Amino acid sequence: MREINQYTLTEAVKSSFRTEEGSRFKFLLENFIDHLHDFTREANLTHEEWMGILNFLYDCGKISTPERHEFILLSDVLGFSALVDMINTRGGATEGSNLGPFYLDDAPQMRLGADMSGGREGATVLVHGQVRDTLGNPLPGAIVDTWQADSAGTYPIQEQERGQDKYDLRAKFVADEKGRYFYTTVLPKPYTVPYDGPVGRLLRAGNRHAWRAAHLHYIVRAAGMRAITTEVFFENTEYLDNDAVFGVRKSLIAKIEPVRKSDVFEYDLEKRPDAKFAFDFVLAPEG
């Protein structure tokens, strides 16, 4: 240890851990140390830069709450989240996309056909489709967990100080015996990712915009199937080609169609929509 230098330090750090040989933890930890040390040497990092990185991470933790996860936002804008989603998408299944910083796992359950908008201004859209497996079989009882911004591009969870209920514009639906889900909601607009914290400083320093393409968030689960976290975007809307968190995939873009007065729906809907789109979710088996 007395003869340690910048080139022998990496192996010394790795060998200081008594990790189980062949374990996933050992693999992840040692690869992280390798890349961290390689980056530090290649960049010839100064003390000021090192402290700047640590203070930036400290600020991310300081601003984070159970309802705003700044580290997820950092992961998103660096493409880290998108890369993990891409690597973990199973063949034949719906592509994954960003979880985002505003997910709550205890959203209220609503009946199929309910209106999520809560009387908000904006176009009412019918969202419907089927949840099925990779062989095309419907998945009755699948849980469709959704959350979104409003027609002004704001999540209610961001407006609690103004009296908004953080559970607005989010719900869980249980697919029917045909694996179908259907509900109405307000059509969301594009918005900027939270810009008042350290991630916002990073974007400004890098001359990057913070705009996200309009979307709906989803986590879809079914017994015996691998859950997916994804988003649905809308054809012919802004920022599809330069989404701030790299969340858009061609397969996740839906076509919105206007609802005509003569249109008759097979669903029992709480509110008649102005527009509609269909999107099917495909889940792969566990394992």
Would you state the pLDDT for residue 165? Answer: 79
Can you give the pTM of this predicted structure? 0.89
* Secondary structure in 3-state letters for the chain: CCCCCCCCHHHHHHHHCCCCCCCHHHHHHHHHHHHHHHHHHHHCCCHHHHHHHHHHHHHHHHHCECCECHHHHHHHHCCHHHHHHHHHCCCCCCCCCCCCCCCCCCCCECCCCCECCCCCCCCEEEEEEEEEECCCCECCCCEEEEEECCCCCCCHHHHHHHCCCCCCCEEEEECCCCCEEEEEEECCCCEECCCCCHHHHHHHHCCCCCEECCEEEEEEECCCECCEEEEEEECCCCCCCCCCCCCCCHHHEECCEECCCCCCCCCCCCCCCCEEEECCEEECECC
Q: Measuring CA to CA, which residue among 173, 127, 123 is closest to residue 267?
A: 127
Residue 69 in tokens = 């996860």
Would you state the pLDDT for residue 153? Answer: 87
pLDDT tens-digit readout, 52-61? 999 999 999 9
Q: How many CB atoms lie within 10 A of CB 156?
A: 22
C-alpha 52/C-alpha 8 separation (Å) is 25
Would you state the pLDDT for residue 166? Answer: 87
Would you state the pLDDT for residue 102? Answer: 87
Would you state the pLDDT for residue 118? Answer: 87
Pairing assessment for the beta strands 253-254 and 180-186 based on DSSP bridges: unpaired
Would you state the pLDDT for residue 1? Answer: 63
C-alpha 233/C-alpha 248 separation (Å) is 7
State which residues of the chain have pLDDT below 70: 1, 163
Residues forming a β-bridge with 132: 138, 282
